[in-house]
Structure 1
Amino acid sequence: MSTTGPGVRLDKWLWAARFYKTRSLAAEEIGKHRIEVNGVPAKASREVRVGDELHLRQNGGLSRTVIVRGVSSVRGPAPQAQALYEETAASLAQREARAEQLRTAPEPALSIDQGRPTKRDRRQLADWDRWSAALDR
């Protein structure tokens, strides 16, 4: 882990810092303009340096703002990856507020007990008189 000197490609750094499982996933998210470096949408080839501020929008609307504290192009263990960045206080507060919101008001779709109708259910639906609105009765 180098803390000074030249930077590392953004997609490599995001992969090494364990924000994404693969480098191609990181590059895909960068291509969708979900990552900004110092307030500017970035390209995958942009070099990240110590002190840069990254704003990440991940799946599920999760938004994080981190400051680069170290540069590495090698994916190491989680504690080493966490040493590469520091999350801002505002970002941590926002994530905690979102987690609390999800705890108190869960997603309505999660309360559905049953999924698709089974074959038996479909047969019962088929027996239902669909032509009840016919005028010839």
Structure 2
Amino acid sequence: MASETSPHTGEPDGGSVRVDSWIWSVRLVKTRSAGAAACKGGHVRVNGERVKPAYGVKPGDEVRVRQPGGRERVVIVKRAIRKRVGAPVAVECYVDNSPPPPPREAVAPAGVRDRGTGRPTKRDRRDMDRLRALNSRRGPANSARPPFEDEAEGR
């Protein structure tokens, strides 16, 4: 009786594998312990349900992994593997249905000064604070503060 085995891992292709081991094997997380921690923290779902690290995944299952930074990876299991493989082989073990990552904002760094210009003056610091407030989209830092009495009367 010859059963189908994976040429790279020697493991059966049709069986189930622990979810923490599988997401580590296909390089969705850096370490197996990080995969187990993600499962325990509720960041891994298989077919819409939160799972424990020992849950078995099999081909055809949908695995959702929420990664640091808020990005969610949605993959369909094509092949169940137990051992970590190279990146080109790992990509063949799943179908990636993840939404594209959000575009990075092209924001000029606020407060970058030329070398050798010395410490910023009080006016420079206020300008930098104003730029930081605009970049964070909160509006000017002092907008909630009422104006001074002298400014209100026009003195």
The answer (yes or no) to whether the contact 2:14–2:80 under 8 Å persists in 1 is no
The Cα of 1:112 is off from its aligned counterpart by 5.2
User: Distance in 2 between the 1:21 and 1:56 partners?
Assistant: 13
Kindly tell me the number of residue pairs found equivalent between the two proteins: 105
In structure 2, the gaps of 5 or more residues are: 1-5, 114-118, 120-155
Contact 1:62 1:95 in 2 (8 A): no
1:5 to 9, 14, 19: 14
Query: Equivalent residue for 2:88?
Result: 79
TM-score (norm: length of structure 1)? 0.68
Unaligned runs of 5+ in 1: 115-120, 122-137
Q: Distance in 1 between matches of 2:59 and 2:112?
A: 49
The structure with more helix, counted as a fraction of residues: 1
The correspondence for 1:40, drawn from 27, 31, 49, is 49
The answer to whether the 8 Å contact 2:78/2:93 transfers is yes
Higher relative contact order (CA 8 A, sep 6+): 1
- Tell me if the contact between 1:29 and 1:35 (Cα under 8 Å) persists in the aligned partners: yes
Tell me the CA shift for residue 67 of structure 1.
Answer: 0.3
Letter in 1 for 2:49: V
1:66 to 66, 70, 75: 75
Match of 1:95 in 2: 100
The TM-score normalised by the length of structure 2 is 0.61
What's the offset of the Cα at 1:103?
A: 3.7
Instruction: Give the match for residue 16 of structure 1.
Output: 25
Alignment-mate amino acid for residue 82 of structure 2:
S
SS of aligned partner of 2:64: strand
- For residues 14 and 87 of structure 1, the distance between their equivalents in structure 2, rounded to whole angstroms, comes to 13
Q: 1: distance between equivalents of 2:38 and 2:110?
A: 31
Identity between Structure 1 and Structure 2 (%): 32
Q: Which has the larger radius of gyration?
A: 2
State the 1:113 CA deviation: 3.9
TM-aligned CA distance change 1:77 to 1:41, over 3 Å: same
Cα offset, 1:5, TM superposition: 2.8
Q: How much is the aligned-residue C-alpha RMSD, in angstroms?
A: 2.2
Instruction: For 2:75 and 2:50, locate their aligned partners in 1 and report how far apart those are by CA, in whole Å.
Output: 15
